């Protein structure tokens, strides 16, 4: 699933030459990542907070700045969980990289690519 998320994000970003990446594309990336986090049980006791943060980032009508802020909070929380011993380094990396892929998608939208 993580590989599929990275491939989807990569495909969306590479598609810039064919058409511009849209907010809806990024919402799908975040929704897939949210499903991955839920399905794998990532986040330990903080999983519900992580999932809520992702839901906020993918919420229709959310401003771009709100989405990026929520994804940044998600990434930072993953690192805090790792430092506290709540998740392994591997899982913290998966969580942080998923958030960063979604943030990159939103950045591409902002740049019109």
User: Which residue ranges make up each domain of the chain?
Assistant: 2-111
pTM of the model: 0.79
Q: What tokens appear for 66 in the block?
A: 């709100």
Interatomic CA distance for residues 7 and 15, integer angstroms: 12
Interatomic CA distance for residues 56 and 84, integer angstroms: 24
pLDDT tens string 37-82: 999 988 888 999 999 999 999 888 889 999 999 999 999 999 999 9
pLDDT of 111 reads 82
Q: How far is CA 98 from each of CA 18, 65, 72, rounded to the nearest angstrom?
A: 24, 18, 11
pLDDT tens string 73-107: 999 999 999 999 999 999 999 999 999 999 999 99
Q: Is residue 87 within 8 Å of residue 43, measured between CB atoms?
A: yes
φ, ψ of residue 63 in degrees (nearest 5): -70, 155
């Amino acid at each position: 699933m993580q590989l599929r998320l990275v491939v989807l994000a990569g495909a969306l970003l590479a598609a810039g030459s064919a058409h511009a990446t849209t907010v809806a594309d990024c919402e799908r990336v975040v929704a897939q990542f949210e499903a991955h986090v839920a399905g794998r049980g990532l986040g330990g006791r903080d999983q519900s907070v992580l999932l809520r943060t992702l839901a906020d980032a993918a919420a229709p009508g959310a401003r771009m700045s709100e989405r990026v802020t929520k994804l940044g909070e998600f990434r930072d929380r993953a690192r805090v969980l790792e430092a506290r011993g709540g998740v392994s380094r591997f899982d913290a990396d998966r969580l942080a990289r998923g958030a960063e892929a979604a943030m990159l998608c939103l950045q591409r939208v902002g740049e019109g690519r």
